[in-house]
Amino acid sequence: METQIKRELSGLYSLWGCGTMYTSNESWNKEEVKKFWKRSEADFAGDVSSPEIIRLSKKYIRNTILDVGAGSGALINLIPNAIGLDLVPKHPRMIKGDILDMPFGDEVFDTIFATEILEHLDDETLNKGLDEIYRVLHRGGHLVITVPYNEDMKQNMVVCPKCGARFHRWGHMQVFDEKRMREMLERRGFEIAKIKRLPIGFMAEHKFIKQFKFFLKRFRFLSSGNLFVVAVKTK
C-alpha cells in the first residue's frame, strides 16, 4: 500500500501556475518550499498541540533544546531556553536552516523535538535529516517525535479545480507505524524510551478526555491519530 501511494505521489512538490502545491521529487527545491510556507495562511499543527506535547515529554526536556521544523514557534514559545530551526523563521528564537545541514556542532543539544515534520520529507531527506539530528544530539539526549499514525494518504488526496493537479492536502510523503519507526531509529543507534498511539490534537483541544483513559481504550479510533515517540541516543 505504501509503495503504491508513493508511486501515485511520485513527481509531486512544486507550485503550479495557479499557486497550488503539488508533490514532485524532481522539481521540488528549497526555494519553492520557502515560497509555499510564506504564502500559507493555515495554522500549524503545533499551534494547537504544543502544550500537550510538552506535557507528554516534560520529563525528557533538559537544558539545551532544539525544535526542528519549528513552524510558527508555538512550542519554543512555551520553553524559554529552546531555539527553533526552520526554512522560514517566524519567531525571534528561530534560526534559518535546513534539516539536511544544521548550522550546529556535534552533540550540542540535550533534547530535540521533531513534531509533525518527518511525514513531509521524501526518503532521502528523511534519512539524511535523521542522521543530522543524531549528530547534533548529545549522547544520552532525547529525541521527541510526533507523526500521523498509519495515515491512509489516499483519503487526503485532493484535486485542484483550477489546474487538475492531484496532491496531498498537507504535503505528506511518509506513512509511519510502530514497526517502521522502531527500525528507522534503532538502526541509527537510538533506543526507544516510549512509543505510543495518542490523539494528541484531540487531547489538546479537549483536555478533560485525559481523565478518562478507559474512554480512549474503548473507542480505538480516538487513540490512533498520532504516534508519540521518545528515543534516546545511546552510542
pLDDT value of residue 99: 95
Q: What is the pLDDT of residues 24-44, one digit of tens each?
A: 433 345 665 556 555 555 555
Which CATH architecture does the domain made up of 2-233 adopt?
3-Layer(aba) Sandwich (3.40)
- Closest by CA position to 200, among listed 142, 119, 116, 120: 116
pLDDT value of residue 49: 86
- Closest by CA position to 13, among listed 216, 168, 234, 206: 168
Alpha-carbon distance of 151 to 224, in angstroms, equals: 9
The structural domains of the chain, with segments of one domain joined by +, span 2-233
86-89 contacts at long range (C-beta below 8 A, 24 or more positions apart): 87/30, 87/33, 87/34, 87/37, 88/34, 88/37, 88/38
Residues of the chain with pLDDT under 70: 1-47, 201-224
pLDDT value of residue 22: 40
Q: What is the pLDDT of residues 56-67, one digit of tens each?
A: 999 999 999 999
> What's this model's pTM, rounded to 2 decimal places?
0.76
Q: What is the pLDDT of residues 8-18, one digit of tens each?
A: 444 333 333 34
pLDDT value of residue 154: 82
pLDDT value of residue 199: 79
